[in-house]
Structure 1
Amino acid sequence: MSNASATDAAGITPPSQRNPSNRETRRAADRLARKLVRAVVIAVANQKGGSGKTTTILALAGELARRGFRVLVIDCDEQGNATTGLGVPVAKLDNEGTYYLLMDDEAKPADVITPTPHDNISVIAGGEKLSEVTAALASEMGNHTFLSAHVETLRDEFDVILLDTPPALSLLTLNALYAADEIATPINPGVFDLAGIAKLTKTVKRLNTRLNKNIAIAHTFLINFNPRRRNDQDAYGFVKGAFPDALIDTADPQPDREWHGSGVPQSASVNSSQSAGVPLTLYDPRTAVSRAYCRVADVIEQRSLRG
């Protein structure tokens, strides 16, 4: 098979056409090289609801786990969608793990890490009780550091820790951002989402200056992206200008096509995979949306997980 036939029109090589033996050998070598490296903690954040944060968490968790990385998802959202999207029914758990970690001084992360049906993926569950956290801890000294203290104890147990964050700037969001090493931000090509990323940028600046934190928006990418729509083209140009080193392209320019940028496309399989409790990239890796998220995982792995 020629190189041209192994690459689809979007410029992405489908997983089924990659060389699995070489790929897995490389992954195994990378894992051995990383044995003494502690987990990278990535918060997926955008201060706008419906921006694809949970979809991104699930897709990245599935793909990175498939590659052999030990992944922990910490669900910091009271909706608990990252938890149920991994096939873990919140109603059947003894407690909501993230709530327990933030509210109980004697909390131990090992007591609330829940295995999922998927190899190499564990979760600390979110849920409705997280709505009580902000009011309950409002007067506590250093309340933005509570999650970080627990995350530090988990770095030797996992390779990647992914934090799903609420859409608003709340104490839960601050805890997740303070615990993270870097931020990944999915962006819908709409004016409200672009406003959300502007708010997040201000929040990050305040974290760094007021709380002595060193964190940055390290990865951005467009979701629900259609390169034929003028609005999407404009959004791509804005994000590329604002985050030139962070933007992740999910495809390469084609010599015979006019280039308007790239991003994760829309797909009905997103809802189907979440209903099934299976990460999108495991549910059907052949779809264009899964291949795009695999490309995002490629870049994040290269930038952040091969140190």
Structure 2
Amino acid sequence: MRIPRVIAVANQKGGTGKTLTAFELAMAFIARGLRVRLVDADPQSAALTAWLVACFPEGRRWTLTDVLMERCSLADATYPTAYVGLFMVVSAPDLGEVENSIEKPPGVESLLQYHLASEKDFDVTIIDSGPSLALPTVAALVAAHEVVVPVQAASGLDVKGAASLKTTIKKIQSRLNPELRIAATVLTDFEKSTLARTIGARMVKAFPGSLVVPARQSVRVGEAQLAMKPLRVFAPGTTTTLDYDLAAAVLLGQRVPPQRTAT
């Protein structure tokens, strides 16, 4: 993976583990010495902004809405967090209103791409997309080089969401972003089962050439969310953390060492 890189985490269905995947991939990249920015492109109140707290200076707090409405640049809306090397662009409930605003600028779906094309401050920008094909999701896919698709390993419905996403990506590739590719599928809440193997096989068939990485189930994920901390900080060494380390390594094209015994 060349640097700088933009990764969209997307699936056209809610509850697939998009926010967890975006956050834990970011932390795994930071552990490898990279400088990472997370962009919350999901207007839902339970999204990334509620989990990861940005460190705002005194004065105006710019959000992704302000970027898309051209009230500020992406750099203006990027704030540090409590974790060294991790920065964030926050979301707000009014993000969902940008699409129908009569004041939205022309070509708004390409604004993130425009800002990111001229920036060199971050090694990786990860965009956490919403579950619907709304304007923020389209803007994320137009801006991205790669897509990571989280799919619950115990939910056949998530496969349908991924199939819808594949259709969307083909349209964006042909019209707005020919460089876009599906880099990986992350099988979230993974437990060994016939269903999980079937879903993994379908993802391989649907997205040939992409990676399929299982992220094992852990009760510590919910605990980390309640504590408003990344899993690798709240419960280092869990199986899920090790799995996201693996995902980050393979996305970077690095040699993957044998995994440690998880606690």
TM range (shorter): 0.7 to 0.9
Letter in 1 for 2:26: A
Three-state SS of the structure 2 residue aligned to 1:47 is coil
Match of 1:187 in 2: 151
What are the residue-to-residue correspondences of 1:1-307 with 2, within 5 Å? 38-79=3-44, 81-88=47-54, 94-104=60-70, 106-136=71-101, 140-154=105-119, 156-189=120-153, 190-211=155-176, 213-227=178-192, 229-249=193-213, 263-302=214-253
Larger radius of gyration: 1
Q: Is the 8 A contact 1:43 1:162 kept in 2?
A: yes
1:105-140 Cα deviation digits (max 9, x unpaired): x51233221110001000011121212111116975
Mapped to 2, the partners of 1:245 and 1:138 lie a distance apart of: 41
* Backbone CA RMSD of aligned residues: 2.3
Q: Is the 8 A contact 2:98 2:104 kept in 1?
A: no
Mapped to 1, the partners of 2:176 and 2:246 lie a distance apart of: 34
Match of 2:257 in 1: none
Q: Is the 8 A contact 1:239 1:247 kept in 2?
A: no
Letter in 2 for 1:169: L
Superposition deviation, residue 187 in structure 1: 0.8
Q: Is the 8 A contact 1:58 1:85 kept in 2?
A: no
Mapped to 2, the partners of 1:143 and 1:39 lie a distance apart of: 22
Q: Is the 8 A contact 2:74 2:112 kept in 1?
A: no
Change (3 A) 1:241 1:38: closer
Change (3 A) 1:244 1:112: same
Gaps of 5+ in 1: 1-33, 250-262
Mapped to 2, the partners of 1:297 and 1:129 lie a distance apart of: 32
Q: What TM-score do the two structures reach when normalised by structure 2?
A: 0.88
Determine which structure has the larger helix proportion and give its number.
Answer: 1
Superposition deviation, residue 276 in structure 1: 2.2
Three-state SS of the structure 1 residue aligned to 2:75 is helix
Gaps of 5+ in 2: 255-263
Change (3 A) 1:268 1:137: farther
Change (3 A) 1:93 1:225: farther
Q: Is the 8 A contact 2:43 2:96 kept in 1?
A: yes
